[in-house]
Structure 1
Amino acid sequence: MTILVTGASGNTGRRVVDRLVAAGRRVRAMTRDPQSVPPRVGVEVVRGDFRRPETWPAVLDGVERIYLFPFVEVDGEPGGGFVDLAVGAGVRRFVVHSAAAAGFESADAPDDPQISALRRHLAEERSAHRAVERMVEASGAEWTHVRPGLLAVGALNWADRIRSRQVVRAPYASAGFPWVHEADVADVAAAALLGDGHLGAAHTLTGPAKVSQAEQVAAIGAAIGLDLRFEELTPEQARDQWLADGYDRGTADWLIELLAAAVDGPDLLPPTDTYQRITGRPARTFAQWAVDHADDFRPTARTGGVA
């Protein structure tokens, strides 16, 4: 049985490949850039692109199960024919990399100009991910949805500033979420691909506890052996900085609203015990994530430490 991993060069996808290879399964790794996936025994790396349907037949040939990354969209249509073609080619199971927002109940319309930037973003995310989930559900194939909350890898947005200046500047130091390690997502996705105990399930994954932005920075500092600073900005200062960094105003606004809502919460997404129930192990902490990604934050000879 060949298992297709889409998005195989990404933070989560490459870990899904690792789990499947360790389980002795044949893996086909789909990526737009085959050079980004190191060659290894048991892994066939193929060039594939959700926006290039001509690449799909070769990608799907002989595949029975798929880890489906959420960018399965062509010309604005979720699925874009990929799911139907996959089922026609013999695929019998999909594990969909979705998002926690897909499970939120909301009456908001993504294009409603009266709702806040945060509510609009959540409505858009819920709509997009549920559209892919529904397409898979309607395909007649077996399915499992893996719905991670906010991924810890978002902290990589701080990497350049930490490497060069050893400081993070952002609003709402006490805002935080139960950030989920991408390795936990990969573990659950692999379990759903390999076993039959997750069919028809939607698994919402988070980290074990809320970790504030200031605590994230402290954990990264501990992982790399440096005393990093968190410099708290006002929302107005943060908006100006993000606009200067190239963010559009809508993104800056929803980020500010998201962090403001997470000061006392996170009410939007409290910690779940999903990972422990499925694996029998505690979910990885943000501190563990920081250790695993320490090399991404260490000052290099090129950046030269404090500017």
Structure 2
Amino acid sequence: MKKIFKKNWDLYVMLLLPMLYIIIFKYVPIYGVQMAFRDYNIFKGMQGSPWVGLKYFRQFFSSSEFVKLIGNTLTISIYGLLAGLVFPIILALVLNYLNNLRFKKAVQTITYAPYFISTTVMVSIILNILAINSGPVNSFLQSIGLDQIDFLADPNKFAHVYVWSGIWQYTGYNAIIYIATLSGVDPTLHEAAVMDGANKFQRVWHIDLPSIKSTIIILLIMSMGGVLSTGFEKIYLMQNNLNIRASEVIDTYVYKIGLASPIANYSYPTAIGLFQSLIGMVLIMGTNVIAKKVGGESLW
């Protein structure tokens, strides 16, 4: 071990910072998880706060908001998961068959660029594009004789606006890993397929998709952990009193009852956050087992 360390000391030094990050921000906060099982009081401290067991979990499960929160979160999350899985694959396959290298790089750059737009700026763009009176979308609808649509005031349209704006922003970035995988496919396979008379669709189905199958499965398994976590910033910024019925998800609810509430309540939102994490862990493990039995591919 001394010889190995002496020979690779620079690699161990590089590994030190990521390890410290994981320890400080991932493992140390686990101590605070017990807050979900205590009636936490900031003045009494963790050990001075009384133990209440599953009180706050029962409170959440029996809450009138529980069904709505779970429904909204699952709708937006699964919708975004499926669309976010399909479109990067389609983009990667299309780019893989483009022969014009300059055009291919231009398309990849244009689709990749929105990833660097911050969440606040992205929501501002969405609000301006879909504005009821001055937005280009409603101006176009009005010009062709159709009624204007207040997209962000209609609860039935909130999930569509949220997911498709995310598709526009992240498809180019998410396609990179598939493009990299497709670039490693043996070109002789395509040459043999062409010799046998296979068209492009057949080559995609029998060569390209099997080559990225393991990548798709791994990314799907990893994504399942966030099914109950849609993210906070974008939904909160797009949320208003008119679409609250469809836009209130677990993350925004936790913020409102934990930090934005005039009465400090730390135990209840901590219990909800722990519930999210446990469900995410179960989903990851369950998806991994199913993927291993069905397709032979798994994360571990």
TM-score bin (small chain): under 0.3
In terms of fraction of residues, the more helix-rich structure is 2
TM-score (norm 2): 0.21
Tell which structure's C-alpha radius of gyration is larger. Answer: 2
TM-score (norm 1): 0.20
In terms of fraction of residues, the more strand-rich structure is 1
